[in-house]
Amino acid sequence: MFYKKNYYDELGAMILPDESINRSKERSFIYIMMFTLIYGLTLLMWPFIAFAMGMSLAAPTPPEFEVAGRLMGELLMSYPIAVIAALLSGWYSYYIKRYIFPYWIMQLPLLWILAWIAVDYLGTDISKVPFLQ
């Protein structure tokens, strides 16, 4: 009967052999750095997009697109919160040597972009949903 050793440290991070740790650490660092640069660029452009969105929300909209327009505004205003949360948690997990977690958490702001595309594509259909009105 085999007894499986505990391969986790006190913080819950998996203990790997040295060469696997170095490879995983390097890949995780490159991945986090790449997404930090990409999300940093989107945050630099965000004030201009938010200004344009504010102008478009102030314009008269057809009634069938009112709910979708409101949802698009809410998605846009909450995007920086998702980016900052993903960046902080990604770098913190790298700091505590959890090198797999950033692969998942750094994709969180991509859900905002997918939701934006879905609301834009299904705009008039979303306005027909009773609980969103």
**pLDDT given for residue 14 in this prediction:** 65
Looking at every residue in the chain, the average pLDDT score rounds to 82
Q: Can you list the pairs that 66-75 forms with residues at least 24 positions away whose Cβ atoms lie under 8 Å?
A: 66/127, 67/126, 67/127, 67/129, 67/132, 67/133, 68/119, 68/120, 68/122, 68/123, 68/124, 68/126, 68/127, 69/123, 71/119, 71/126, 71/132, 72/116, 72/119, 72/120, 75/112, 75/115, 75/116, 75/119
* Cα–Cα distance measured from residue 39 to residue 110, given in angstroms and rounded to the nearest whole number: 10
**pLDDT given for residue 3 in this prediction:** 42
Which amino acid, 28? S
Q: Which residue has the higher pLDDT, 66 or 48?
A: 48
Tell me the domain boundaries of the chain.
19-128
Q: Per residue in 14-45, pLDDT tens?
A: 666 566 666 778 888 999 999 999 999 999 99
